[in-house]
Amino acid sequence: MEIIFYHPTFDTPYWIAELGKKLPGAKIRAWQRGDNAPADYALVWHPPVEMLQGRDLKAVFALGAGVDSILSKLKAHPEMLAQSIPLYRLEDTGMGSQMQEYAVSQVLHWFRRFDDYQALQREGRWEPLPDYPHDTFTIGIMGAGVLGSKVAQSLLAWGFPVRCWSRSRKKWPQVKSFAGEGELADFLQHTRVLINLLPNTAETVGIINQSLLAQLPDNSYVLNLARGVHVVEDSLLAGLDSGKLKGAMLDVFSREPLPEASPLWRHPRVTITPHVAAVTRPQEAIAYISQSIMQLERGEKPGGQVDRERGY
């Protein structure tokens, strides 16, 4: 079994060594330009076109949960990867627990009014504030995949009403499910905290815009954990300035790193993190990929296969 590996920032020797332990007998090599030798599997992140073009592969594994970079490159270079070659993404591999930590910590920060107390502290004011009741602090999750499910479970444990919106209806215990464009308005109507975990597709680009934000209750919050292209930043800033939105926490942006001139850096109601909500954990990812490859070798079908038409 021949495996080629490419990631522009990962510790490639470490990954190759650990993959070798999980897949004894496999020949794993770091791909370099000019390497046209045969391979059975490719493990990639932002791969160059020439790495995959013309190869008769059994499968390609993206080294992350998102595959939009590969799919966007395929649109420009459809010859890069034959339609018959399956593309897989990492479904969890430790990302679910990281998303849970991130989402719960920020929702509790807003729920306990720590944002308001920080503002009062800057003014030197000692002023106890009324509590928010749980039953009106509804959490709405856009995107109901593996990570959305994990985040919903973690927030239910704190007693919040949780709802989700996705392409198809879900049957999650204690979570109210909304599906399709026709139910988006109903989903937004009582959502106090909007958490974005949507995939990056042509239909979801710019979805968090002025029209959508206007349908949220006053003094709502936005937490973006998916992709920066989902949010129209000018609309978000306008919502914050008008008071429609009480706060936003953003981990992802249309341009990364976020340019120094962006007004998001200096807005008092915006909190920024540098795309760290959930990162690929090597040991979990290596175990997941190795298991998936062994399943394919046995003629089985592992999870995580990407529907190229849907984009996830």
Q: Which residues are catalytic?
A: 227, 275
- 302 three-class SS: coil
Which residue in this structure is represented by tokens 């929702």?
A: 107
Q: Is 170 left (phi over 0), alpha (psi -120 to 50) or beta?
A: beta
Which residue in this structure is represented by tokens 């004894």?
A: 24
**Alpha carbon separation from 49 to 7, 28, 70 (Å, rounded):** 14, 20, 9
The answer to whether residues 148 and 141 touch, using CB atoms and an 8 Å cutoff, is yes
Stated length of the chain? 312
Rounded Cα gap, residues 276 and 143, in angstroms? 19
Establish how many alpha carbons lie within 13 A of residue 43's alpha carbon, considering only the half-sphere containing its beta carbon. Answer: 25
Rounded Cα gap, residues 156 and 143, in angstroms? 16
| Max Cα-Cα span within the chain | 69
User: What number of helices (H) and strands (E) belong to the chain?
Assistant: 10, 12
- 10 three-class SS: coil
Q: Is 44 left (phi over 0), alpha (psi -120 to 50) or beta?
A: beta
Here the tokens at position 114 are: 């720590």
- Chain mean position to CA 6: 21
